[in-house]
Amino acid sequence: MSLKAATSSSLSVPVNDLPPDSVIFGESFAMQAVREKIERLAGADIPVLVEGESGTGKEIVAKLIHACSPWKEGPFVKVNCPAIPSALLESELFGYEKGAFTGAYGTKPGRVELAHRGTLFLDEISELDPSLQAKLLQLLQDGRFCRIGAQEEMQVDVRVVCTSNRKLEQEIKSGSFRPDLYYRINVVNVQLPALRERSEDIPRLVDYFLERYNQQYNGQAGPLSPQLVRRLQGYSWPGNIRELENLVKRYVVLGTEEAISSELQGTTQDPFTADVSLDEPIWLKKLTRQAVRELERKIILRVLQATHWNRKKAAKMLNISYRALLYKIRQAGFPPKNARRQVGEAVASEVSAD
């Protein structure tokens, strides 16, 4: 059975509300690598897996991939896997025929069908029930599926983008995620850094949210003081960009820096915090060396980001020789000077190998 193109749906999510590229990607090296990867993969008819902590902007990236793709004129249909009870998720995804079960008084197309000639966005796919993973695997293999209660298969042309805030490799080890499905959705992987790893982008994000919510709430909140911005850059941001957005929103509504600065008391990152288990012998010298190396790595990364990865400037700021800095960069596992080009070549090889 051939599928009629879905003309419209209330489930289709608009993608014309994306922030500017300068806000999405900022200036950090990690996000510039993400930008280059998206530019390479957007036009390829392959599944994409976007991974990162909650609040890092995975949905924004999924929308951007759709907006830059040949399917941008088609629908962008979101499925929030944790929000839909597992008993209902199969019918929401694949639809059903009249009489398929008690209460099925008519035929209902599923979200897979509604995403025809567009993008199906599976948010937090790690929450997908194992019984549905096999059916999704078939869809990814040959673009075919069955409505519940149907006798014939249907064919769709759908680009699938998935996100996960969990490491799916760990879910595979625990037996809650199928390895064959993982390899299908992970043709190209986009890793989003946590906000604490791209602190140089915080001032730009703050300005964007200030302008946005001043307009939305008819507010007149002024720019944050440099002192408070520096404190924001030292905060650990467990909620990532979503937490920053809510904090700026609160500032716009309440109108004073005190409304948010009190929340940052005692919440800045402590570089000397060590995760020490008391259930086993403690080797103080070994733990101290590890803590010092990690602190040194963070300082070097911060300086490199501040100098836009100009190693000569960074060495001067750190008061070490250029050769010593190159050695420490290699020791820390930071990307080489031509990393941007290498990222592009890696993605190109992934695309051509599909």
| Residue boundaries of the structural domains of the chain | 21-193, 196-264, 284-336
Q: Which residues contact 171 (CB under 8 A, 6 or more apart)?
A: 126, 177
With contact defined as beta carbons under 8 Å apart, do 79 and 85 qualify? no
pLDDT above 70 covers a percentage of the chain that reads 85
Q: Fold match between 21-193 and 284-336?
A: no
Q: What are phi and psi of 225, to 5 degrees?
A: -65, 150
**Where residue 337 falls among pLDDT bands split at 50, 70, 90?**
low
| pTM exceeds cut of 0.95 | no
Quote the CA–CA distance of 128 and 124 in Å, as a whole number: 8
Quote the CA–CA distance of 103 and 51 in Å, as a whole number: 37
**Where residue 131 falls among pLDDT bands split at 50, 70, 90?**
confident
* 144-201: pLDDT as tens digits: 888 888 888 899 999 999 999 999 999 999 999 999 999 999 999 999 999 998 989 9
Architecture of domain 21-193: 3-Layer(aba) Sandwich (3.40)
Fold annotation for 196-264: Helicase, Ruva Protein; domain 3 (1.10.8)
Residue in 301, 291, 308, 297 with CA at minimum distance from that of residue 332:
297
More confident: 335 or 167: 167
With contact defined as beta carbons under 8 Å apart, do 18 and 212 qualify? no
Across the range 335-352, mean pLDDT stands at 47
More confident: 77 or 298: 77
Instruction: Report whether CATH 1.10.10.60 matches the domain 284-336.
Output: yes
* 307-321: pLDDT as tens digits: 878 889 888 888 899
Quote the CA–CA distance of 200 and 335 in Å, as a whole number: 18
